[in-house]
Amino acid sequence: MRTTLTLRFAALAALLTAPAVAQTKWEPQKPIEIIVNAGAGGATDQLARTIQAVCLKHNLTKQPFIINIKPGAGGAEGMLEAKKASGDPHKLFIGNSGIYAIPLANKVPFNWRDLTPVAIVALDEFCLWVHGDTPYKTAKEFLDAVKAAGPNKMKMGGTAALREDQIITALIDDKAGTKFTYIPYKSGAEASVQLVGKHIDANVNNPSESISQWKAGQCRPLCIFSKERSEYKQKVAGDQSWNDVPTAKEAGYDIEYVMLRGMFLPGDVTADQTAYYVDLFKQVVSKPEWKEYLEKSALKSAFIAGKEFTDFLVKDEARHKEIMTKAGFVAQ
Amino acid sequence: MESFTYLWHGFQTALTPYNFGLMLLGITLGVLVGVLPGLGGPNGVAILLPLTYGMSLLPGGTTSAIILLSCIYWGALFGGAITSILFNIPGEAWSVATTFDGYPMAQQGRAGEALTAAFTGSFVGALFSVLLITFLAPVIANFALRFGPPAFFGVYFLTFASFSGTSRSPFSKTAAATLFGFILAAVGMDTVSGTLRLTFGFETMIGGFDFLVAVIGLFGLGEILLSMEEGLAFRGGKAKLDLAIVFKTWRDMFRHWKTLLQGCLIGAWMGVKPGGAIAASFMAYAVAKRTGKNPEEFGTGRIEGVIAPETAAHSAGASALLPMLTLGIPGSGTAAVLLGGLMMWGLQPGPTLFAEQKEFVWGLIASMYLSNVVGLIVVLATVPLFAALLRIPFAVIAPFIIVACVMGAYTVHNSMFDVWLMLIFGIIGYLCKKLDYPLAPLTLALILGDKMEDAFRQSLLGSRGSLLVFFSQPLEATLMIAGLILIAWPLVTGRRRKRIGGEGDR
Amino acid sequence: MTPSHETTTDPNRSIGQPSMATMEIGVAVFLIGFGALISQDSWKLGARWSELRGPGAGYFPFYLGIALALCGFSILIRAVRLRPKLRVRFIEWHQAVPVLTIFVPTIAFVGSIHFLGFYVASIVFVACFMRFAGRMAWWKCLTYSSLPVVFLFWLFEKRFLVPMPRGKVEALLGL
């Protein structure tokens, strides 16, 4: 779009204003926009704002961040926005497993390969939560009770339909022989309140979505759907820490599910530009404020970039396809 | 009693000269973002959030940051009413009902009166709820937990029911407008099934229609087109410009204490559950109209028509703070951003917040009291200034209103498609007014339609398809039966009126 | 919200200008068609109970569409029945001209944003409207239009960092 004339002007201006900067390293020239494809105040928004705050405090970028909330269509709107921004290195997109689940469940013309993967900055975990007043002490006790009650008698709440929460519910139904009625809500916070109000029997919220209710004794995690127990040993509720929550495998169910929290650039950006952001996020995740944020939200710390990240995406996508096809979630 | 010590302490901190200066700054900034096109509540507060973040890092700065943020929040809420009244452009969903009588008042040269009534109503409503929070916090927080999907459906049903029968348009047209609003609300991703619907294959439609885009077109642009029929004359030119109007309006408002009280109660009750402020403003308007002496005069510039929705919306806005703090569920877009700000400072909302962060919670409540008072004084002082806007020649102000509509529509999702959509809604709004299709039920359905549908289907999923779920619990049953009575009422009284006078077909 | 067609009392009809009845009938037919389209699309989507997803995604819209079409029929019948009473023109010529003088430039304004960017297009639109509709002096038009827009540019782009569509002029000025 830009004419050669404008390019020349820009080059001239750059030459005049910043002669000392070598031309090897790319740096953002204008505010960096972070596309958040979920509601304001939600987990993705918090992640974006933490990145913003850490960069602000440690002066990691010369340009400010703008957070662009695009919650429409369960996140699909934000995904398409990122896809449309092809070639623009001043836009970042925060991806979660919606990047495969949404295109599979609907015919949305999107594939994560339309974007440039930068880095995974954290992994989000899921727990099986029940109300604090219920007698169940282990996942087995609860799921046996669900099985005994018969199909469609117990209600599982979760965020949105045909997404991670419903996928985990399908995995539970498959491994435990239960049959939950899945009720989708707009957000994890809503699902959490509905559980406390006893309008549903269980949910599979992220730790951060229910931590406060756990502290107050209103709900309780029975197991965590992760390969190993959480790394956080600090007491959270009473004498319990995240580390005390058994994995689903320990409880006798071979169910594993973690969700990526990854940063993406739009497609068609240069290797220099990607490298700049990989380096930036490497710095972000090493700061104490970031670690504090991870612990507070009980996110699994992780930093995966480059080819490893692409491999992760390919594998994760194939797994989603398999589970969703089996559960009948894939659009015909 | 311990909490009052904290509250008292909060007052003391807030009243230092530095913090008092911050309050004035916050209110002014808030009003500015509330008035500017395309910033509105959520966007505006989000933009100003980093400002408070830097501040909270200073020693003892958290309280100052809270004060600044809550002042911005109130300022934005006050500011939203200004554009609704002056230009018929609602900035937030709950300002829609304010336009019904506020804009006609401005056209009659009574903008100062309408603005004063709106601001004072907001102040009274908010104060009522903050008082309620101060004394009854635990009770209210627990009440919010009782709302499952059937109860939510009951609340929305009651809101629609209170509006039924209040329209002066023919029934078939009112019904058509309502249905049209519901259909528009259904477009896009469906929460319950997770599938896309009614997009007809257009990629740009998957996000659905944002009510703000529709409302800017239907009300703002539609009104410009309609007033152009009379040429370039503008009807608000005679607006009075002195502060005496404030005191005169206050005198008048005493006579409407009943409307104020209704607004406070409806707002406080509805605000406890998420999204309550929108339903509250519409419901309070409808109730004021039904219980008023001259219901047919509503919509032509009755002051109660401004007082009721503003009082209810702000009463709800303040009481929504409680579920936000204790349940982590924000009642509105603006509150959601506020919540994001609190979390950025390391405060985890939830049931334990009141126990763990006493100083913060009571500091916030104290600053809510004070910023509300300071806010009222600041905005009342600006009444003549804003009323003066209407004195600008129409040939100058009209293109700027259109520029504002375009900006407002664009910034909702940063998309040009929304701007074109806004233009189409402008034509629809114009046609609706010409052909006597009511806009109020259309917007109400557009704003609440998908929430109501979600609640309905979530209920049916839970009950395996049985409709009895809406009557199985006392709370749900009360809501539903009250709604049914409201719907049946005009059928009974309307038939009688028809027998006596007969409204006659046009 | 006063129904304005009652105030227009001129019973004469001229060719080429739609009457109230024609408009009523036109909108009613549109509603019937629109309702039918919505119902048809919703039916394809699944308007019945499904084991996996409960009431299907098309359940609500399907009935909404049918009800809308029924309302359309009722409005149509009423309009046809009341046709003699509705002979009033939908809009008078002297009213239509000013409506178009603002609507057509608005469309041109929005269309030109794609090329000129929001700010330049706004200045052009506001200035031209003041000049041609308000018949104000050129220098006034240009001052009144550019000063507020430059202020908005400063506020939104520089202070609040809210990006509006930009054109080539901003780039040329290096802003």
Cβ contact C161–A6 (<8 Å): no
Please list the helix, strand and coil fractions of chain B in percent, rounded to the nearest 5, in that order.
Answer: 75, 0, 20
The tokens for C83 are 């046709």
Q: Is residue B348 less than 8 Å (CB to CB) from chain A?
A: yes
Once rounded to an integer, what is the mean pLDDT over residues C31-46? Answer: 91
Same-domain check for residues C117 and C75: no
Q: By the 8 A CB rule, do A263 and A92 touch?
A: yes
Cβ contact B461–A215 (<8 Å): no
Once rounded to an integer, what is the mean pLDDT over residues B241-250? Answer: 80
Q: Choose from C49, C53, C164 for mutation: most chain A CBs within 10 A.
A: C53
The B residues from 212 to 251 touching C (CB cutoff 8 Å) are 221, 224-226, 228-232
Q: By the 8 A CB rule, do B173 and B431 touch?
A: no
Identify the pLDDT of residue B144.
77
User: A-chain residues within 8 Å CB-CB of C172?
Assistant: 6, 9
Facing residue for C95 by CB, picked from B176, B229, B410: B229
Q: Which of A77, A10, A71, A17 is nearest to A44 (CA)?
A: A71
Facing residue for B197 by CB, picked from C61, C99, C163: C61
Q: How far apart are CA C53 and CA C55, in angstroms?
A: 6
pLDDT tens figures, B333-391? 677 777 777 776 667 777 777 777 777 778 888 888 888 888 898 888 888 888 888 77
Q: Which of B316, B407, B309 is nearest to B81 (CA)?
A: B309
Q: Which has the minimum average pLDDT: A6-20, B72-86, B210-224?
A: A6-20
pLDDT > 90 fraction of chain B, expressed in percent and rounded: 18
> Where along chain A do its domains lie?
31-124+259-327, 127-244
The residue that leads in pLDDT, C8 or B231, is B231
Q: How far apart are CA A154 and CA A123, in angstroms?
A: 29
Question: What is each CA distance from B352 to A212, A217, B201, B362, in whole angstroms?
Answer: 6, 10, 47, 14
Same-domain check for residues C50 and C29: yes
Helix, coil or strand: residue B212: helix
User: A-chain residues within 8 Å CB-CB of C53?
Assistant: 161
Identify the pLDDT of residue B1.
55
Task: Examine the fold and report which residue of C55, C86, C117 is the final residue of a domain before the chain moves on.
Answer: C86
Same-domain check for residues C70 and C118: no
Q: How far apart are CA B55 and CA B42, in angstroms?
A: 20
Provide the mean pLDDT of chain B.
82
Helix, coil or strand: residue A177: coil
The B residues from 319 to 338 touching C (CB cutoff 8 Å) are none
Identify the pLDDT of residue B253.
84
Closest-approach residue (CA) in chain B for C74: B172
Same-domain check for residues C128 and C169: yes
Cβ contact B403–C65 (<8 Å): no
Count CB pairs under 8 A between chains A and B: 151
Q: Which has the minimum average pLDDT: A66-70, A252-256, A290-294, B455-459?
A: A66-70
> Position of tokens 């000392």?
A20
Identify the pLDDT of residue A215.
87
Q: How far apart are CA B240 and CA B111, in angstroms?
A: 8
User: C-chain residues within 8 Å CB-CB of B223?
Assistant: none
Q: Which CATH number fits the domain A127-244, given the four candidates 3.40.190.10, 2.60.40.3080, 3.90.79.10, 3.40.50.300?
A: 3.40.190.10
- A150 — alpha (psi -120 to 50), left (phi > 0) or beta? left
Facing residue for C174 by CB, picked from A9, A33, A64: A9
Q: How far apart are CA A144 and CA A127, in angstroms?
A: 17
DSSP string, B99-118: HHHHHHHHHTT-HHHHHHHH
Q: Which of B318, B326, B307 is nearest to B141 (CA)?
A: B326
Facing residue for B189 by CB, picked from A46, A68, A73: A73
Once rounded to an integer, what is the mean pLDDT over residues C120-144? Answer: 90
Same-domain check for residues C26 and C73: yes
Span between the terminal Cα atoms of chain A, in Å = 39
User: A-chain residues within 8 Å CB-CB of C162?
Assistant: 66
Helix extents (H) in chain C? 20-45, 59-81, 93-116, 118-132, 138-153, 168-173
User: A-chain residues within 8 Å CB-CB of C115?
Assistant: none
Q: How many helices (H) and strands (E) does chain A have?
A: 11, 13
Facing residue for A6 by CB, picked from C161, C162, C172: C172
Residue C162 predicted with pLDDT over 90 = no
Q: Which has the minimum average pLDDT: B250-254, B456-460, C128-132?
A: B250-254
> Where along chain B do its domains lie?
2-498
What pairs with residue A237 in β-bridges? A240
The residue that leads in pLDDT, B262 or B92, is B262
Torsions phi, psi of A205, nearest 5?
-65, 160
Crossing angle for the helix pair A164-176 and A306-327, to the nearest 10 degrees: 60
Q: Which of C45, C41, C39 is nearest to C62 (CA)?
A: C39
User: CB count, 10 Å around CB of C3?
Assistant: 14
Closest-approach residue (CA) in chain A for C51: A181
The residue that leads in pLDDT, C156 or A258, is A258
Q: Is residue A192 less than 8 Å (CB to CB) from chain B?
A: yes
Interface residues on C facing A, Cβ-Cβ cutoff 8 A: 52-53, 161-163, 168, 171-172, 174
Q: How far apart are CA B303 and CA A17, in angstroms?
A: 59
- B88 — alpha (psi -120 to 50), left (phi > 0) or beta? left
Same-domain check for residues C75 and C104: no
Cβ contact C58–B197 (<8 Å): yes
Q: How confident is the model at residue B324 (pLDDT cuts 50, 70, 90)?
A: confident
Task: Examine the fold and report which residue of C36, C63, C86 is the final residue of a domain before the chain moves on.
Answer: C86
Task: Examine the fold and report which residue of C34, C65, C86 is the final residue of a domain before the chain moves on.
Answer: C86
Q: How confident is the model at residue B503 (pLDDT cuts 50, 70, 90)?
A: very low
pLDDT tens figures, B410-447? 887 778 888 999 999 999 999 998 998 998 889 889 88
pLDDT tens figures, B388-411? 887 788 888 889 889 988 988 888
Same-domain check for residues C24 and C73: yes
The tokens for C41 are 């699309």
Q: Which has the minimum average pLDDT: A10-14, A247-251, B36-40, B436-440?
A: A10-14
Q: How far apart are CA A90 and CA B287, in angstroms?
A: 50
Span between the terminal Cα atoms of chain C, in Å = 45
Q: How far apart are CA A226 and CA A57, in angstroms?
A: 33
Q: Is residue B208 less than 8 Å (CB to CB) from chain A?
A: yes
Question: What is each CA distance from B51 to A312, B17, C160, in whole angstroms?
Answer: 38, 19, 11
Once rounded to an integer, what is the mean pLDDT over residues C155-168? Answer: 78
Q: Is residue B194 less than 8 Å (CB to CB) from chain A?
A: yes
Same-domain check for residues C80 and C97: no
Positive or negative torsion for Cα A160, A165, A166, A167: positive
Helix, coil or strand: residue A265: strand
Helix extents (H) in A85-231? 98-105, 139-149, 164-176, 188-196, 207-215
Q: Which residues contact A132 (CB under 8 A, 6 or more apart)?
A: A213, A217, A218, A219, A220
Same-domain check for residues C80 and C104: no
Q: By the 8 A CB rule, do B135 and B461 touch?
A: no
pLDDT tens figures, A239-263? 899 999 999 999 999 999 999 999 9
Q: How confident is the model at residue B37 (pLDDT cuts 50, 70, 90)?
A: low
One-letter identity of residue B140: I
Cβ contact B194–A105 (<8 Å): yes
Helix extents (H) in B57-170? 61-87, 96-107, 111-144, 149-163
Closest-approach residue (CA) in chain B for C121: B403
Domain count of the fold of chain C: 2
DSSP string, C29-60: HHHHHHHHHHHHHHHHH--SEETTTEE-TTHH
One-letter identity of residue C99: V
User: A-chain residues within 8 Å CB-CB of C168?
Assistant: 3, 6
Q: Is residue B453 less than 8 Å (CB to CB) from chain C?
A: yes
pLDDT tens figures, B207-225? 788 888 888 899 889 988 8
Identify the pLDDT of residue B317.
83
Give the ipTM: 0.87
Convert B72-97 to b/e letters by CB count within 10 Å (16 or more is b): bbbbbbbbbbbbbbbbbbbbbbbbbb
> Position of tokens 């001043």?
A90
- Please return the burial class of A224, using the count of CB atoms within 10 Å of its CB with bins 0-12, 13-18 and 19+: buried
User: C-chain residues within 8 Å CB-CB of B411?
Assistant: 162, 164
Domain that holds residue C30: 4-86
Closest-approach residue (CA) in chain B for C96: B229
Closest-approach residue (CA) in chain B for C62: B183
Q: Is residue C82 less than 8 Å (CB to CB) from chain B?
A: yes
Count CB pairs under 8 A between chains A and C: 17
Facing residue for A328 by CB, picked from C52, C163, C168: C52
The residue that leads in pLDDT, C80 or B195, is C80
Residue B93 predicted with pLDDT over 80 = no
Residue C111 predicted with pLDDT over 90 = yes
The B residues from 72 to 131 touching A (CB cutoff 8 Å) are none
As assigned by CATH, the class of the A31-124+259-327 domain is alpha beta
Cβ contact B148–A197 (<8 Å): yes
Cβ contact A2–C163 (<8 Å): no
Q: Which residues contact C22 (CB under 8 A, 6 or more apart)?
A: C90
Same-domain check for residues C11 and C82: yes
Provide the mean pLDDT of chain A.
87
Q: How confident is the model at residue A133 (pLDDT cuts 50, 70, 90)?
A: very high
Q: Which has the minimum average pLDDT: B48-57, B88-97, B360-369?
A: B48-57
> Position of tokens 């569509």?
C165
Once rounded to an integer, what is the mean pLDDT over residues B181-187? Answer: 91
Once rounded to an integer, what is the mean pLDDT over residues A87-96? Answer: 93
